[in-house]
Structure 1
Amino acid sequence: MDEKHVIEKQKRIEAGKLVDQSFRLEEAAKVAEPEESGRLLLESEKLMDQARNIYENLRRSPDLTRLGLKYGSKKEAIIIRRSKVDKLRQEGHAGVEIAEMLNVKPKIIQNDIAKIKEIEKRNQQGYVVWSEDETNFLIKSYQNGVSPSQIAQDLGRTKEAVYRKVMHLKEQGVIASKEVV
């Protein structure tokens, strides 16, 4: 195997390890305290983004078909397929059409699209700018002892978003840091 293929294989292994770490963080987030859970999920997303970037760069390399995959190839295939599905979906192709184009069962594409939509929804909720009214509501509710879970439900946001906003407000000195989230 020449040097280029050795480097490509090392990158695939690195990306596979990032995906594994991401999955482990997601699992840990399920049992962690809410504040820690939000941090773990954000870290998991960062790792997955790094892996996607590596896979995308490798996919563009013309000699990849000759590279034998041993580590994480199934996960890699899923990430690359979902990337292709997302691109084709954004171009206006229907699920059945995408399945035919990628030579995959329609049910698999259906599942991929559902996962992509779930991620998009999570990202939209996570990055919506807080309005002044929402911030004031959060501050008053939090100071009156309303649980972050209830505040999240009242505002239609995730618990993680509420925890991040509370931490941000503590850093700004708007909420006293001695209060426990």
Structure 2
Amino acid sequence: MRKNLFLILFLLVIAGFIGPKELSLGFKDFKLNQTQSEVKELIKKSFDFANRRDEAISIRLEPDTDIITAEGLGFIKIGYFHFNKDKLFQIFLKLDEKRLGYYLILKRFTEKFGNPTSLEPKSAFWENEEVKIIIEKPCSLKYIYKPIWNEITAADQTTDSVFFNIREKFIDDL
């Protein structure tokens, strides 16, 4: 009886070490929720991006929203780092599909993180409360920091609601 109990406990412990890993918060040293200055420094030091100086292009789309674009090297064609209020909330990597394929990444991520939360013909994603990792055909990879993403999308929905209410009022007044 004790042998069986010990064996079951041993197998449970081993299964915990062998099972899927927790989802990654980013690519290598680039982690979601980092500041722009941290990401710019990492780009300068990275062998995955060509931008060794302050050559990374920074684009401001809306107040509090910036994108840093970095030309890739090797397996990465280009990287986009999206910030909201100086916090990295999305990493988008366009990968070289001749060197890496969608199915290779799908296989490796399934081995690493377990089965995807959703699997479609052209995309797959894994998610938890904090992060969503998406791979898409032909070969791109996204890391999304859900707390900031949810905040942004909620604000967008509020803006849409106001717009629709104003539009309805305008139409009613015609």
TM-score (normalizing by structure 2): 0.22
Q: Greater helix share, 1 or 2?
A: 1
With CA pairs under 8 Å and 6+ residues apart, which has the higher RCO, 1 or 2? Answer: 1
